[in-house]
Structure 1
Amino acid sequence: MAERDAISPEPADDTELAIEGALRPASLEEFVGQHKVRGQLQLLLDAARIQERPADHILLAGPPGLGKTTLAMIIAHESDRPLRMSSGPAIQHAGDLAALLSSLVPGEVLFIDEIHRMARTAEEMLYLAMEDFRIDIMVGKGAGATSIPLDLAPFTLVGATTRSGMLPNPLRDRFGFTAHLEYYEPEELEQVIARSARVIGMDLAGPQRDEIARRSRGTPRIANRLLRRVRDYALVRGGGRAASLDDVRAALELYDVDAIGLDRLDRAVLDALVRRFRGGPVGLGTLAVSVGEEADTVESVVEPYLVRIGFMGRTPRGRVATPEAYEHLGVVHAAQGQTALKLDDL
């Protein structure tokens, strides 16, 4: 049978979930970017190892897709401890948290994603658990209710949040270390893409990696997702294992990712702000309704990147478009002084 220069069909059990797991680095040394955070975590874990104790509780804060879950897995791996994973929305009652905490083994790492979305009653129970490794179980109701203390195995809590400002101060103060993850530079994303390309068996030259990196919004998760779409395009329509620069651009254009990483929803929000509301100011809720999305989605997914690249500003009166937004959309605004606000005024 003649050889084919194409990506071999993946085994039936090689699902996207398995690929996602393979793309995650297994150690702090393999983890690309976040140099300061990596150094801080390494020191914290080394100190815990020398003292033969569980590491202090760790809060990982930052936008989605920067590696918070991956870092939690690395913390457990480098501590040589088991990892238990949960999420804030899944813990809606104190009893849910009590069942989770009471089943931990000594030294286990408990990862709670979106920890700011836990129920308030569960948060209050977590205070005592983090500080004294103990919880109080209420038995009975009314005047006959009694509190029974339950000792817990020492554990390390790793919390992840995209909204650190929504965490109550008593909870935030109980973390021994808070890591603030920053968006990646294109050069760092190129390293992420190069490693991921090797994992999925792609030949990707420097210009192709650079093209994907520039459209990845400073986010490794997006970079890996775009890389997989380029792989699919190369497999079906391009050169198989080796994707050309034209393949990369065509694939990303097919999936509505423009030259600076804006997708369909980003452009819809920007277009509504500029054309429908004449540059603003406009309230977040009104802007979200105009594009048929939830306000939380616009605020947490779309807005941070538009603000970061200088296309949108937040003012007390609402969201406004900047001159750069008009320029990107190719729109000439009628009232320069009214709608093209200076960044210094935002």
Structure 2
Amino acid sequence: MTAVDEEALTSAEADELERAAEAALRPKRLEEFVGQRVVREQLALVLQAARSRGACADHVLLAGPPGLGKTTLAMIIASEMHASLRLTSGPAITHAGDLAAILSSVQEGDVLFIDEIHRLARPAEEMLYLAMEDFRVDVVVGKGAGATSIPLSLPRFTVVGATTRAGLLPAPLRDRFGFTGHMDFYEAADLERVIARSARLLDISLDPAAGREIARRSRGTPRIANRLLRRVRDWAQVRGNGAADEAAARAALEVFEVDPRGLDRLDRSVLHTLCVRFGGGPVGLTSIAMAVGEEPETVETVAEPYLLREGFLVRTPRGRAATALAWDHLGLRPPSAPGTQAQGTLFVDGSGAPPA
């Protein structure tokens, strides 16, 4: 086995361990789910009403940024309804036949979870309309003039769709969901509860101050919070005394390049490029992406949402532009005139603020 093969195998094993760790931390019941109070309360009402009627729950659409618990809620819905869960994703269903094969195996009361449902192929999407509304699909046998449509009845089931881009969902599909839950980024207090629960499950001796530090840098996202918690645990075991205290949390997050505002290497690279190379902008997304060596979609979907939400950059008709907060965070002096393509400079005193 070559060194490259060994590295690939090690990476695959590490990813599998990460996925297994995340799965172990998922809550199994709705009362265990932390945060998203409004969605949790609404969903509890929908599920309780369905159980009292002895019927399937209405189709559920969960919309929001990645890492907020949409897949976890789908699993909880299946658990609360004492139903089997079938998982797939929009990109995996490239033809109507793929969806027909999945639907033909669905049993009464099953929960079908479709992640990234906005990326369904159009033929599959149109088949899903009929399946969700009338619980049947039309299977076409043959081609051309000899093609025959055979209606296939389906048992009643619940579709749970998850999307990070609700605006891309066509109205006919969106309207077929009986309940839509809009998930928001978590407050720091809720993230502290998530981290404390995860620490108990992972048997980590976590100091409350360390939990607050991790929560502060987790970008309002439980998935990131759990990931950072495991990295703090690693640092404490290898370089510390085994206890995940505040000093260990800060040291670990510095090693993994997560700064006190939650910005990672890509975020800072985008801001540095925008400020230093383009004088603060405005500049197009493609130019920024090429300068940082990433795909435009990666910059737009991974880095930009958080930078926008935290006020580090703004979108203008002419492109992206850095705010005063971005210059201050990087310790750079903005150009004297807006839009001037001047190089940013470090403040002389290193304080992150211009001299008086």
- Fold shared per TM-score above 0.5: yes
Shift of 1:244: 2.3
Tell me by how many angstroms 1:145 deviates. Answer: 1.5
How far does residue 210 in structure 1 lie from its aligned partner after superposition? 0.5
Letter in 2 for 1:247: A
Q: Identify the residue that residue 309 of structure 2 maps to in structure 1.
A: 308
What are the equivalent positions in structure 2 for 1:218-229 lying under 5 Å apart?
218-229=220-231
Structure 1 unaligned regions, length at least 5:
1-13, 340-346
Pairs within 5 Å for 1:105-144? 105-144=107-146
The reply on whether 1:252 has 2:253 as its aligned counterpart is: yes
SS of the aligned residue for 1:18 comes to helix
CA distance in 1, matches of 2:62, 2:193: 22
CA deviations over 1:241-299 (Å, ceiling 9, x no partner): x2221111111100010111100011111111111111111111221111111111111
2:319 and 2:145 map into 1 onto residues whose CA distance is: 50
2:282 matches 1:243? no
Partner of 1:289: 290
Larger mean Cα displacement after TM superposition, 81-90 or 143-152: 143-152
User: What whole-Å deviation, never above 9, does each CA across 1:29-58 have from its counterpart, x for those lacking one?
Assistant: 110000000000000001111111110000
Deviations 1:192-242 (A, max 9, x none): 0000001111111221110000000000000000000000011111111x2
Equivalent of residue 176 in structure 1, options 175, 178, 182: 178
Q: Which residue pairs with 2:33 in the alignment?
A: 31
> CA offset at residue 19 of structure 1?
2.3
Work out the CA distance in 2 between the residues paired with 1:64 and 1:17.
Answer: 15
Render the CA deviation track for 1:118-169: whole Å, top value 9, x for unaligned.
1111111100001000111111212222211111111100000000111111
Structure 2 contact 282–339 (Cα < 8 Å) conserved: no
Which shifted more, 249-258 or 294-303? 294-303
- Report the counterpart of residue 214 of structure 1 in structure 2: 216
1:28 Cα offset (Å): 1.1
> Does the residue aligned with 2:314 lie in a helix, a strand or coil?
strand
| Alpha-carbon separation, structure 2, partners of 1:289 and 1:312 | 18
Pairwise CA distance, 1:104:
0.4
Q: Which runs of 4+ in 1 moved over 6 A?
A: none
- Bigger drift between 294-303 and 14-23 goes to 14-23
Aligned mate of 1:232, from 226, 231, 234: 234
SS at match of 1:29: helix
In 2: Cα distance, 1:297 partner to 1:15 partner:
24
1:148-227 matches, cutoff 5 A: 148-227=150-229
TM-score scaled to structure 1, two decimals? 0.92
Q: 1:276 is matched with which residue?
A: 277
Aligned length: 326
Match of 1:202, SS?
coil
Amino acid at match of 1:22: A
Q: What letter corresponds to residue 335 of structure 2 in structure 1?
A: A
Q: Give the 3-state SS of the residue equivalent to 2:282 in structure 1.
A: coil
In the TM superposition, what is the alpha-carbon distance from 1:336 to its structure 2 partner?
4.4
**Counterpart secondary structure, 2:112:** strand
Name the structure 1 match of 2:326: 325
Change (3 A) 1:50 1:313: same
Kindly report the root-mean-square deviation, in angstroms, between the aligned alpha carbons of the 2 structures. Answer: 1.4
What stretches of structure 2 of length at least 5 have no aligned partner? 1-15, 341-356
SS state at 1:143 partner: helix
Deviations 1:73-130 (A, max 9, x none): 0000011100000011100000000000110010000001111111111111100001
Letter in 2 for 1:19: A
Matching of residue 91 in structure 1 with residue 110 in structure 2:
no
Name the % identity: 67
Higher relative contact order (Cα pairs below 8 Å, separated by 6+ residues)? 1
Moved more, 261-270 or 274-283: 274-283
Q: Matched residues in 2 for 1:223 and 1:84: separation?
A: 27
